[in-house]
Structure formats: structure tokens, C-alpha cells
Amino acid sequence: MPVVRSSEATTHEIHGARFVSYATPLTGSKELCAWRGEIPAGTKAPAHTVSREEIFHLLVGELLITLDGRTERIGAGDTVIVTPGTTLGVENPTDHTALSWVTTSIGLQAELADGTRITPPWAN
């Protein structure tokens, strides 16, 4: 049984946010990836279109989540289901870091508005 200790998690930073990766093929997962997202106060990540479903659960704080141009304010305990092909934007308009837990299937890619494709290492 693979157990990933918090001290063994891998941290990645991009677009002003931190992604602390726990479940990936490198840690023994065969189908899913999972990470904790840390979105600092004032962060507005660039909108990106996802290739796979993501389940985004907010643990702490408040965020503005935009899905295909429609914005919702979410709070701790709320879950957002992001379907493949959806354009996702995440913004933290507060003065506190928000913490999230995200799961997706292995192989997620994100495409930015300028056509740049990102294969996040925390989701592969």
C-alpha cells in the first residue's frame, strides 16, 4: 500500500500558485492524480482549458472560479466539477491564502488563451 507522507510531497510553482503533489504515477497511482493547491491573496491565474475532468474542492478561504465565462464565488467546503474542454479561471480576491484539493486523471493538459499547452508535472 503506497503511503505518501507530507514530507515526501513534491512542490511546484507556476502563475503565482503552489501545487503540492501527492498522488501521481511516481508515487504509485495508476489512474488518478491529487494535489493541494495554495492560491495566495491577490492571485489571478490565467484562464486555461482543461483536457480532463477535475474535481476542485476548496478547503480554506474563498475564490472566484470562472467556468466558460461564468463566475461563481466559492467558499471552504464547496466543490467545483470542471468537465473536459471547459475554460477555467481561478482568482483569489481576498487577503488570505486559499487552499484547495484537486483530483484528476493522469494525463491532464491545460491550454492557455495564446495556444500554449502545459502538461503539469503534478498531474502526470
Overall average pLDDT of the 17-21 stretch = 97
Question: Is pLDDT of 105 > 90?
Answer: yes
Domains of the chain: 10-123 (2.60.120.10)
Instruction: Provide DSSP, 80-117.
Output: EEE-TT-EEEEE--SSS-EEEEEEEETT--EEETTS-E
Q: Mean pLDDT over all residues of the chain?
A: 96
Which residue, among 42, 35, 37, 41, has the nearest Cα to 99 in the 3D structure?
37
For 71, residues 6+ apart whose C-beta sits below 8 A from its C-beta are 64, 65, 89
Overall average pLDDT of the 70-95 stretch = 98
**Banded pLDDT at 1 (limits 50, 70, 90):** low
103 or 122, higher pLDDT = 103
Q: What is the dihedral of CA 119, 84, 48, 72, to 10 degrees?
A: -140
Question: Is pLDDT of 124 > 90?
Answer: no
At residue 57, φ and ψ (nearest 5 deg) are -115, 125
> pLDDT per residue over 28-68, tens digit each?
999 999 999 999 999 999 999 999 999 999 999 999 999 99
pTM reported for the whole predicted model? 0.93
Q: What is the dihedral of CA 4, 122, 36, 31, to 10 degrees?
A: -70
